[in-house]
Amino acid sequence: MNKIIVFFLLVSFGFVQAQQLNCTVTVNAQKMGNPNQQIYKTLETTLNEFVNKTDWTGQTLKPQERINCSMYITLLSHSSDQFSATIQVQSSRPVFNSSYETPVLNINDKDFSFTYTEFENLVFNANNFQSNLISVISFYSYVIIGMDQDTFGFKSGDAIFQTAQTIATVAQQSSYKGWSQLDGNQNRYFLINDLLSPTYVEIRKTIFDYHQGLDMMTDNLKSAKEKMKTAILGLNKLYNSKPNAYLTRIFFDAKSDEVTSVFSGGPSIAIADLVDNLNKISPINSGKWATLKF
């Protein structure tokens, strides 16, 4: 009897702990001719269970420690078991000693086609390509986790990113777009290769230092803003060698509104040099930078 109880507790404990993501997966089928088809609802339910119940890292996390994130899939076409879609991936993490959640990731991937049969069982294996649906969702699950870890420790996401790179390398053997350097210069191939490349180490240092600054805000707001400013200015080194870096765009896609908010309020610090550099390294957000007063 005691052995049965112990076994039950171990299984229950393992099930509870084998989750790292608190993810909302939404399947938008409004562009389909019949958006009420049950298959779209089944797909959404299946993906939510897959993302949230898969043990991606083996790491023990309490429910409140799981990473808040979302995957928003917009279906563009559907014929038989063939789907064409886009996927927007977002994540956030709490700021120390506050109720504020800071955005960490915001990626819109437009090369997402896949096959799916209703009630199909989704099983993840990093070393085998089973379907593009599994590979893309698994890839972004690891990117979410790796980026989250990078905000807490410099290059702490390396091991996680390496698994994402394995998924991408295996998926290159398929005919699906987004996995190859031949598919454009801002796709999954470049995302993961750049994250692990020494050439782009400055962006990862900026990510860590910037979030360190955020975590200081409840203790010393002015010092926190100075640290965040220094972190952003650190991107100059990357800009000088890679002026159109994909990772720089990804950083500001997540952070531009927050940067504007932080440096628009008090206490005031000198930001003339920051604004000049923001306009240089992220000109697409120049309208936001124009609202910063100095």
Whether residue 294 lies inside any domain: the answer is: no
Residue pair 125/102 in contact (Cβ under 8 Å)? The answer is no
Residue 59 shares a structural domain with residue 151: yes
Query: Residue 255 and residue 268: Cα distance in Å, rounded?
Result: 20
Residue 68 shares a structural domain with residue 107: yes
Residue pair 233/206 in contact (Cβ under 8 Å)? The answer is no
Residue 128 shares a structural domain with residue 154: yes
Residue 208 shares a structural domain with residue 184: no
Mean pLDDT of 21-45: 92
- 63: pLDDT confidence band, cut at 50, 70 and 90? confident
Residue 157 shares a structural domain with residue 206: no
Q: Which of 176, 196, 216 is the last residue of a domain?
A: 196
Reduced to 3 states, what is the DSSP secondary structure of residue 21?
strand
The CB density around residue 252, as the number of other CB atoms within 10 Å, is: 21
Query: Residue 262 and residue 147: Cα distance in Å, rounded?
Result: 21
Residue 163 shares a structural domain with residue 280: no
Q: What is the DSSP letter of 245?
A: -
The alpha-helical segments, DSSP class H, found in 2-131 are 2-17, 38-53
Does position 209 have pLDDT exceeding 80, yes or no?
A: yes
Q: Which of 196, 225, 254 is the last residue of a domain?
A: 196
CA angle 121, 126, 131 (to 5 degrees): 45
Residue pair 139/145 in contact (Cβ under 8 Å)? The answer is no
Q: What is the DSSP letter of 78?
A: E
Q: Which of 143, 171, 196 is the last residue of a domain?
A: 196
Does position 150 have pLDDT exceeding 80, yes or no?
A: yes
Torsion angle (degrees, nearest 10) of CA 2, 6, 7, 13: 160
Residue 12 shares a structural domain with residue 47: yes
State how many domains the chain has. 2
Query: Residue 285 and residue 31: Cα distance in Å, rounded?
Result: 30
Domain that holds residue 141: 2-196
Residue 129 shares a structural domain with residue 15: yes
Mean pLDDT of 162-190: 95
CA angle 27, 30, 32 (to 5 degrees): 100
Mean pLDDT of 22-26: 98
Whether residue 245 lies inside any domain: the answer is: yes
- 206: pLDDT confidence band, cut at 50, 70 and 90? very high
- 18: pLDDT confidence band, cut at 50, 70 and 90? low
Residue 38 shares a structural domain with residue 110: yes
Query: Please, which residues have CB within 8 angstroms of residue 84's CB and are 6 or more apart in sequence?
Result: 75, 76, 77, 78, 112, 113
Reduced to 3 states, what is the DSSP secondary structure of residue 26?
strand
Does position 5 have pLDDT exceeding 70, yes or no?
A: no
What is the model's pLDDT at position 15?
40
Whether residue 237 lies inside any domain: the answer is: yes
Residue pair 174/115 in contact (Cβ under 8 Å)? The answer is no
The CB density around residue 132, as the number of other CB atoms within 10 Å, is: 23
Residue 253 shares a structural domain with residue 208: yes
Q: What is the DSSP letter of 62?
A: -
Mean pLDDT of 36-65: 93
Mean pLDDT, rounded, of the chain: 92
Residue 90 β-bridge partners: 70, 106
- 265: pLDDT confidence band, cut at 50, 70 and 90? confident
Residue 223 shares a structural domain with residue 170: no
Task: Single out the residue of 109, 266, 130, 271 nearest to residue 190, CA to CA.
Answer: 109
Residue 42 shares a structural domain with residue 186: yes
Whether residue 12 lies inside any domain: the answer is: yes
Mean pLDDT of 265-287: 95
